[in-house]
Amino acid sequence: MTDIKITIIDRQGVKHEVDAPTDMNMNLMEIVRSYELAPEGTIGICGGMAMCASCQCYVLSDHELPEMGYDEDLMLSEAFNVKENSRLGCQIFINESLDGLQIELAPES
């Protein structure tokens, strides 16, 4: 199975290009954690249930992403620093169509 490339801008503004596996049912939040691009305890607090918004990110590239689910939409309605291109990283699962995806982590809140 192939890996894809994802560019992640961390909360300090540093850009990282990482390899993300497409065969492990991983989501963007988990990719960020696996490369330790945000301190533990500041991302993925709810574990990936769309219940905390600690993995909010801004999508910078124009990839077609999975449609936003009900839980994600409502969580973002209560999150801070939300923009038009905000998504919850935990709800975006890695697959080959996301090769070249660019995201920026939202500030911790």
Partner 1 sequence: MIKTDILIIGAGPTGLFAVFEAGLLKLKCHLIDALPQAGGQCTEIYPKKPIYDIPGFPEVLAGDLVTNLMKQIEPFQPGFTLGERAETIEKLDDGSFIVTTERGTKHHAPIVAIAGGLGSFEPRKPPIANISDFEDKGVEYIIRDPELYRNKKVIISGGGDSALDWSIFLTDVAKSVILVHRRNEFRGALDSVEKVQELKNLGKIELITPAEVVGLVGNNKLEEVVIKQGAEVFKLECDHFIPLFGLSPKLGPIADWGLEIEKNAIKVDNTLDYQTNIPGIYAIGDVNTYPGKLKLILCGFHEATLMCQSAYQRIFPDKRYVMKYTTVGGVEGFDGSKKEAPKAVIKSID
CA-to-CA separations, 58 to 23, 84, 103, in angstroms, rounded: 24, 8, 6
Distance CA 103, CA 109 (A): 18
Q: What is the closest distance, in whole angstroms, from the C-beta atom of residue 60 to partner 1 in the complex?
A: 21
**Sole window of 17-25, 57-65, 80-88, 93-101 interacting with partner 1 (rule: CB under 8 A):** 80-88
Total residues interacting with partner 1, rule: CB under 8 A: 19
Q: What is the closest distance, in whole angstroms, from the C-beta atom of residue 18 to partner 1 in the complex?
A: 19
Q: To which H or E segment does residue 102 belong? A: strand 101-105
Is residue 104 within 8 A of residue 61, CB to CB? The reply is no
* Binding mask of the shown chain, residues 29 to 68, with x at each position contacting partner 1 by CB under 8 A: ----------xxxx--xx--x-xx-x--------------
Which residues 6+ apart lie within 8 Å of 74 measured at CB?
A: none
Which residues contact partner 1 (rule: CB under 8 A)? 39-42, 45-46, 49, 51-52, 54, 74-75, 77-78, 80-82, 107, 109
